[in-house]
Structure 1
Amino acid sequence: MSDVRDILELEHPVVPEVSKDAILGLRRDIPKKKKEKEGMRRPEGMHRELYALLYSDSNKDLPPLLPSDSGQGYKSVKAKLGMKKVRPWKWMQFTNPARKDNAVLYHWRRTCDEAKEYPFAVFNKVRLR
């Protein structure tokens, strides 16, 4: 920036002396103000843990109206892998009954569902005119 000022022959601005107090924004002649807490005060007799659960300012959310107990307590539901035999899948062909061109399509299906009809055929609707 000073190069531009030199080319345009402008005066350089007077820069005040930089000190630690100027950087930190401290002024010794002004007394410090006490920070006031915003928000509600905890009612007498209410435990602070309960107050923190009910009126936490961090998330601004209200407590849930209905309890959401899954019966697990603090434990999370974990996947139980390897407990049952794996069901085999097979790459099979199928025809969509809604199509009139008899196109043969392919998709993965369980081998136990091999003889069943295309599952989305129940959604095929014919519009009568």
Structure 2
Amino acid sequence: EGYTRAMSDIKDILGLDRATPAVPAPRTVRPTVRKPEGMSREVFALLHTEGKSVLPLVPTCTLSPVDTYKEKQSRVTGWEWKPFTNVARKDDLQLSHWVKNNDKSASYAFARFAKVVKVLSYTDVEYEQLLTHSNWSKAESDTLFDLCRRFDLRWPVIHDRFPRDLPIEQLKERFYEMCRT
């Protein structure tokens, strides 16, 4: 009863007549399209849009996948087992790999990725004048620079091979401090 009293109070405030019941809005009857006999429900749902935007059903590719597959299969590509030398290596190791017959490049394709880091070097006099450190001996500094050259500044590897158990941060700090001076 409290709900109807509150509704009547609202009707009083809005100036509406209490006695008139609300008139329901007339229902619009939408024409229903029935699924044709023999068509699956999924296909009908894809094709019937009910006024929504229609997607194009015209194919955009003129060749069928079967034709392109046959076309690709008709072209035969020959392969050849060829020897090569990797220019990144210092020895003249002769390796071999499979290459397409129409590939005429003489150089090894991955040689461009063989980058060597140039690590600075120093003399004994330079070390004594500029690079001495209270916690580092010359032999340890030489070992650090040798490992940096051999392993291209790959710090986890250098840390693993370094004889003294120091954190990577200290090895980096010593190396870059020596390079700055």
**TM-score of the superposed pair, with normalisation by structure 1:** 0.38
Specify the structure having the higher radius of gyration (Cα).
2
**TM-score of the superposed pair, with normalisation by structure 2:** 0.29
Structure with more helix by fraction: 2
